[in-house]
Amino acid sequence: MTVWPDTDRKIVSRYLAQLRLSSHARSVYTQVLHDFQAVAERRRTVDRKTLEAWLREWAAHWQPKTVLHRARIVDRFLDHLVKRELITSNPITVLRSELSVKQSRPIWRALASRKPDQALEALRRPKPFGSVLGEIMREHVERMRKRGYRYVTQAAWFLRFDQFLQAHPELGRKPVKMMLEHWAAAKPTHQHAAECEKLTHALTKALRHRDPSVPPRRLDARAQKEAARHFRKPHIYSPADVQRMLEIARSYPSLRFPLRSATLYAALLLAYCAGLRRSELARLDLGDVDLRNGTITIRETKFFKTRILPLTDTVMAELRGYIDTRRRAGASQDLESALFWNCQGNGRYTSTAIAWLLVDIIRRAGLKPGIGTGRTGPRLHDLRHSMVVNRMLQWYRSGINPQDRLPFLATYLGHRDINSTLVYITVTQDLLQEASERFRGVGARCLAFVDEVRP
């Protein structure tokens, strides 16, 4: 087995060859990785001290911001070496695990500081499920996932409660009911109250697995309803808004990535016309588009659902044009390659990158305040709400009873049941007007008939 660092540095060359970098980026990557390998060769090991030595050398010639940016190159390269079994572990990954830190950047920043030990200790977070109830909650999460549930949101509730208990060790000997009361009082928001209610219900089920004598607890929906009253109402984009955003997407400026404007146009089109989530957009492969039958396949998304969505002829024509543009741009034609192709990294836009770019289009359209104004204005997910409302309007105007079509709409959106779809039906003035007209044409005659037969 080849062991890194290698004397001829072919491992670095092969790694860079698979990244599809521009000539400028390749020269930067080469310099960074060769300098790092030189430090590793002098120390004859890859550990935390090697990283600190490399950071000190670069800090002598470069600004801290540049050093941290170059550290990301080294971090990804170390992950590659671990994957190829050329080194035993990535020191950054080890530190993240020890300190319970999710991101690598704070670790690099701490290592580059004057007092790395103190900086790393300041990053330390409570160990997941390390409280007095931690083992019970961990077992319950694993049990539910073995039964086929994702159980991501519920696990997050448990982890937040677990961190609270670790921060308040004096509650360790108190009854569970008192622990939950203190947790409920920790934040005064309606959302926290609703989360505490659902956490209590889930924790009761976990405790009953250990002790069947624990009485069951019915979920109280009042807290969730009260929180729903204070949710930010979705913004319903008008067809004119969507048209303006599509025009901006088609001319989106990007000198380094000429395909980006066409990509954003197609992604925005599917986000609105098909009501796709941003994660679903990011996971679309080239083979998921069936140009012959006019459908796209959304695989294994929320609720473990895979669905095949028919699209209109106009949308399919736009997708056909995008795929042709994508081919001429030199994108991979492998059916498993990303539909929304990126010439960097693994050739795929992440859901975060898609969200950032599409939100930037919303800002450029003048529908959302600029960066730095907080979580205000229309959201990307509101396109999904708008798709539902505008579809309901079209059904009303076409003389179709929307109630008969809701089960089909729920399936199209990938919902578990019709109740999830009802959340997306925002009562706008136009929708209320159409419903009133429908009642006037049907229900008013019934009322008139009752008045006639009344003695």
Catalytic residues: 277, 302
Strand ordering across the sheet containing 295-298: 289-290, 295-298, 307-310
CA 300 from centre of chain: 15
Q: What pairs with residue 289 in β-bridges?
A: 296
Measure the CA–CA gap between 188 and 74, rounded to whole angstroms: 44
Instruction: Report how far residue 263's alpha carbon sits from residue 382's, in angstroms, rounded to the nearest whole number.
Output: 20
DSSP 3-state of 424 = coil
| Cβ atoms 36, 83 nearer than 8 A | no
**Euclidean distance between CA atoms 298 and 309, whole angstroms:** 8
Contact 295, 308 (CB under 8 A): yes
Residue 295: what are its φ and ψ, rounded to 5°?
-135, 160
354 vs 24: CA distance, rounded Å: 25
Q: Which residues pair with 341 in a beta bridge?
A: 348
The helix/strand/coil state of 318 is helix
Q: Which two structure tokens, joined as six digits, stand for 359?
A: 């939100």
Q: What is the token pair recorded at 325?
A: 């543009």
The candidate with the shortest Cα–Cα distance to 395, out of 412, 379, 374, is: 412
d(CA 109, CA 130): 27
Q: From 56, 15, 54, select the one nearest 38 (Cα to Cα).
A: 54
Instruction: Measure Cα distances from 331 to 181, 327, 428 in Å.
Output: 56, 5, 42
